[in-house]
Amino acid sequence: MGFKCGIVGLPNVGKSTLFNALTKTAAAQAANYPFCTIEPNTGDVAVPDPRLSAIAKMAKSANIVPTRLTFVDIAGLVRGASKGEGLGNQFLANIRECDAIAHVLRCFVDDDITHVEGRIDPLSDAETIETELMLADLDSLERRVVPLRKRAGADKEAKEAVELMDAALELLREGKPARLVTVPKGSEKAFEMLNLLTAKPILYVCNVEEASAATGNALSDKIFERAAAEGAKAVVISAAIESELAQLPPEEQAEYMEAMGLSEPGLDRLIRAGYELLGLITYFTAGPKETRAWTITRGTRAPQAAGVIHSDFERGFIRAQTIAYEDFITLGEVKAKELGKARDEGKEYVVVDGDVMLFKFNT
């Protein structure tokens, strides 16, 4: 399990250029006109994690298998999308299928690349997108809540849904996103089932010019302030640099990044911010055949973590041999066992980021 992140934004902000760089493909056509992305392009990307190679070396693994995440390049949205303007209906349908929204904002000035609204103002762009998503949620809830109210008296689930809808409607009518709803304990799943666009976590991606890739600029600073106020995340990326970097062989990438004043690719920063946003962590399995990374939600217990590998592992779970990452790469599995660093954990064990695990289960 990784996560599915929809790349959204106004036309011509660099969404498709970023997607191409991240997935190292030319699947999405990057062109200087609105709606050049008609169908959402999907790309699976390996999650970079230096711990993988360290574990594989210690385990003498023949193969390394990283965990993966999915990026979806979604058509550019314009003002009025909630009413079907541009490719609005398609945009909204595609974004509902994503776990999080990577909102690309244009934080650079280039007279050769047109802006759909004729000015460079990422804060205003963010407001445009947010407003259209809120209007779409408002319309959706107002249509759905009416029949549910009629059932709420005798239907416990309908009553719960109506209460959650009313809480979201109150915020949306005040111009606030549904992610600000205080969800009662135990109602998290019911709220998730409402599938509201503005309830999805937001990651602002500030697309800056090459000279500002390492430090950001005045425009991106404003977005970071907005993200902090919302409890969202923000990263600075130069789509132009990422595009160049994606074309270079691995041995030349480090030199290119150093020349640009960068310590790591933008993809790494984007994934790290996305993981933090969604509360994701990684555990590992290791052996002579392969070392593999697995992504789970923070707080996941051992049986459910095993179920990410195969449902049979969760169903027949007995216990999990668990070695902390630092102990594994320092001692190895055999020595860790000898020194009592390999623990047998049961069904209540909460997996920790970096755990190296071996599951025992009944078939």
User: Does 12 belong to an annotated binding site?
Assistant: yes
User: Does 16 belong to an annotated binding site?
Assistant: yes
Per-residue model confidence as pLDDT tens digits over 272-328: 888 888 889 999 999 999 999 999 999 999 999 999 999 999 999 999 999 999 999
What pLDDT shows up at residue 232? 87
Q: Give the chain's mean pLDDT.
A: 85
**Phi, psi dihedral angles at 307 (to 5 degrees):** -65, -20
Q: What interhelical angle do 266-278 and 239-247 show, nearest 10?
A: 120
Prediction pTM value: 0.81
Length of the chain: 363
User: Does 17 belong to an annotated binding site?
Assistant: yes
What pLDDT shows up at residue 91? 64
Assess whether pLDDT exceeds 90 at residue 207.
Answer: yes
Rg over alpha carbons for the chain, rounded to the nearest Å, is 23
Domains defined for the chain, CATH in brackets? 4-277 (3.40.50.300), 299-361 (3.10.20.30)
Tell me which amino acid residue 116 is.
V
Residue-wise DSSP of 122-184: HHHHHHHHHHHHHHHHHHHHHHHHHHHHHHTTT-HHHHHHHHHHHHHHHHHHTT--GGG--PP
| CA 293 to mean position of chain CA atoms | 17
**Phi, psi dihedral angles at 173 (to 5 degrees):** -70, -20
Dmax over CA atoms of the chain, in Å, equals 67
Assess whether pLDDT exceeds 80 at residue 92.
Answer: no
Per-residue model confidence as pLDDT tens digits over 8-47: 888 888 888 888 887 764 333 334 333 334 455 777 788 8
Interatomic CA distance for residues 94 and 74, integer angstroms: 7
Tell me which amino acid residue 238 is.
S
Whether the Cβ atoms of residue 82 and residue 88 lie closer than 8 Å to each other: yes
Assess whether pLDDT exceeds 50 at residue 4.
Answer: yes
What pLDDT shows up at residue 37? 40
CA dihedral over 211, 227, 300, 97, signed as positive or negative: negative
Element (H, E) at 189: helix 188-193
Section 333-352 average pLDDT: 95
Query: Any residues with CB less than 8 A from the CB of 160 and at least 6 apart, and which?
Result: 187, 190
Query: Which residue reads 């990307």 in tokens?
Result: 45
Section 240-267 average pLDDT: 87
b/e map 269-281, b = 16+ CB within 10 Å? bbbebbbebbebb
User: Higher model confidence: residue 363 or residue 215?
Assistant: 215
Which range (15-19, 182-186, 339-343) has the least confidence? 15-19
Residue 162's pLDDT band, with cuts at 50, 70 and 90, is very high
What pLDDT shows up at residue 42? 79
Candidates 353, 345, 358; CA nearest to 324 is 353
CA of 134: how far to CAs of 171, 179, 359, in Å?
Answer: 10, 11, 44
User: Higher model confidence: residue 162 or residue 31?
Assistant: 162
